[in-house]
Amino acid sequence: MGDIKNTIMDGRAVLGIELGSTRIKAVLVDEKNTPIASGSHDWENRLENGIWTYALTDVWTGLQDCYQKMAEDVKTRYGVALEKLGAIGFSAMMHGYLAFDKAGKQLVPFRTWRNTITQEAASKLTKLFQFNIPQRWSISHLYQAILNGEEHVKDVDYITTLDAYIHWQLTGQKVIGVGSASGMFPIDSATKTYYTSMIARFDELVAEKGYPWKVEHLLPKVLVAGDNAGVLTEEGAKLLDPTGTLKAGCPLCPPEGDAGTGMVATNSVKPRTGNVSAGTSVFAMIVLERELQKVYEEIDMVTTPSADAVAMVHCNNCTSDLNAWVGLFREFAESFGIEVDMDKLFYTLYNKALEGDKDCGGLLAYNYFSGEHITGFEEGRPLFVRNPDSRFNLANFMRTHLYTSLGALKVGMDILVKNEHVVVDRITGHGGLFKTKGVGQSILAGAMDATVSVMKTAGEGGAWGIALLASYMLQKEENETLADYLQEKVFGGDEGEKMDPSPENVKGFDAFIRRYQAGLSIERAAVDSLK
């Protein structure tokens, strides 16, 4: 306790903050990268005028509340005020479109990763670049705005992501980590920055519009893990901590996206390793040994925070519908006057799923709160359907909703494994789906037919991951790679608790996924019919 107190008072503690889809989380770590304090703030995106968005005022009130709760945790645990930090790192959900003019004024509401409104732009850019450009990437949003003839485009001076926006406001630096940048515009792993040939092609594509900018000048400067990305300014310190307790001057690491911090938090930055992050959305990140043979619209090519090539299977929907059903069961219990502990409810229902039939007894569900590009949906309608003779019970019902949380991911992963013969030595799961011990891990092992590890730090997630990147910037030795730093100084060879897939679970998930793909026309009918 005394050592931790001295670490805090001496300004050697490192802070990581990640803005996720439903929660902003802060994790403070000591010099051994052990979490010593935390804070969080719940928030939610809104659908306004057909656009999924967060107001920037909500970003700052949420960030300040999260930081204050972490600082209060420090005060409560150690009896000292948090005045100085060794370093800070910011992370956030990747992609999307934040556009500003020369004066720093936001031009249009934040268009988040959840939107599926850029199909025309994404398709045309994929063809132009011969490189898959997903709908949620920043360049897709910019080009779609051009195709739509949106008035604001001529005034754009800077486009960025949420993590890099916050970093800019706190440091004055328009920079971004390479992993997050790879969700804005294609990255060349050899040069560790944007593909110059594609930059030139885009400028040629829009030249006739006569805009007073070149796309390269709109994008943040790319940095890699270990780079110093600026320092906390006086204004930035007051913005983060309005009480004025936090002092300016500490360094910041490059801001990273949640995909990159997930790789770091699971020690999955080496080739032939991968991780699955499962929360509001779900994505698998596989670090490649070689380039893929083809361009797949279902597979995104991004990078690790050190710029190594990564195949990413990203799905917009994961646990939102599952959580909604758990909420319904809570409401049912409360109607009988039963006070419900949510952790116990999740534990009970998740474990009940393990009692279900391996193929879910013929039940089927789609968890599409929003569109799902992997299966070709621009909008979503959550639904549950069964045959009259399906084995309808609570265990099968819960198992179905756990399975469908990974349904679209399974479709994408089969492309990598079966078409491209990508080899993965280790998959690590993290995020909310894996908090109930053994359940999400068992389901994922069956879905991927692979050994899945879950670490004790799985619940810390990306906030801890960005704190590790900030620590790496401070502590790295000359020529020490991020992979070596993580392996030797953070994880010490710990690969977590492993679970092998059972043949019965693999067979059961395969049967479910055949039903899932055959039933997509039901989801299409729901989208078309329920406006």
Q: CA 110 to CA 100: how far, in whole Å?
A: 10
Neighbours of 332 (CB within 10 A): 11
Backbone angles phi, psi at 370, to 5 degrees: -130, 180
3-state secondary structure 64-102: HHHHHHHHHHHHHHHCCCCCCCCEEEEEECCCCEEEECC
Chain CA centroid to CA 222, Å? 19
- pLDDT given for residue 167 in this prediction: 98
Q: Is residue 517 part of a domain?
A: yes
Q: Is residue 362 part of a domain?
A: yes
Residues 6+ apart with CB under 8 A from 102: 155, 157
- pLDDT given for residue 492 in this prediction: 85
Q: Which domain holds residue 376?
A: 320-405+504-529
Residue with tokens 């789906």: 433
Q: Determine whether 272 is exposed, middle or buried from the number of CB atoms within 10 Å of its CB (0-12, 13-18, 19+).
A: middle
End-to-end CA distance of the chain: 57
Residue with tokens 């699971």: 266
* Amino acid at site 318: C
Q: Is residue 55 part of a domain?
A: no
Domains in the chain, number = 1
Q: Is residue 52 part of a domain?
A: no
Residues 6+ apart with CB under 8 A from 343: none
Sheet holding 23-29, edge to edge: 35-42, 23-29, 14-19, 87-92, 256-257
Tokens standing for residue 406: 């990974």
Q: CA 478 to CA 393: how far, in whole Å?
A: 59
Q: CA 104 to CA 394: how far, in whole Å?
A: 53
Residues 6+ apart with CB under 8 A from 507: 358, 359
Tokens standing for residue 90: 């910011």
- pLDDT given for residue 333 in this prediction: 97
Backbone angles phi, psi at 21, to 5 degrees: -65, -35
Q: Is residue 381 part of a domain?
A: yes
Query: In this structure, are residues 464 and 14 in contact, taking their beta carbons and an 8 Å threshold?
Result: no
Query: Where do runs of H (alpha helix) occur along 336-437?
Result: 342-353, 394-405, 407-414
Q: Is residue 173 part of a domain?
A: no
* Amino acid at site 364: L
Backbone angles phi, psi at 99, to 5 degrees: -120, 135
Q: Is residue 99 part of a domain?
A: no
Q: What is the crossing angle of helices 342-353 and 439-448, to 10°?
A: 40
CA distances from residue 472 to 44, 86, 223, 476, 487 in whole angstroms, order as listed: 31, 12, 14, 5, 12
Query: In this structure, are residues 52 and 114 in contact, taking their beta carbons and an 8 Å threshold?
Result: yes
Look up the pTM and report it: 0.83
Q: Is residue 50 part of a domain?
A: no
Backbone angles phi, psi at 186, to 5 degrees: -55, 140
Tokens standing for residue 324: 């909604």
Residue 2: closest CA among 30, 27, 26? 30
Q: Determine whether 48 is exposed, middle or buried from the number of CB atoms within 10 Å of its CB (0-12, 13-18, 19+).
A: exposed
> Digits of tens for pLDDT over the chain (531 positions)?
789 999 999 999 999 999 998 899 999 999 999 999 999 999 999 999 999 999 999 999 999 999 999 999 999 999 999 999 999 999 999 999 999 999 999 999 999 988 889 999 999 999 999 999 999 999 999 999 999 999 999 999 999 999 999 999 999 999 999 999 999 999 999 999 999 999 999 999 999 999 999 999 999 999 999 999 999 999 999 999 999 999 999 999 999 999 899 899 989 999 999 999 888 889 899 999 988 999 998 899 999 999 999 999 989 899 999 999 999 999 999 999 999 999 999 999 999 999 999 999 999 999 999 999 899 998 999 999 999 999 999 999 999 999 999 999 999 999 998 899 998 888 998 878 888 889 999 999 999 888 899 887 655 678 999 999 999 999 999 999 999 999 999 998 777 889 999 999 999 999 999 999 999 999 999 999 998
Using alpha carbons only, give the angle 184, 188, 192 rounded to the nearest 5 degrees. 90
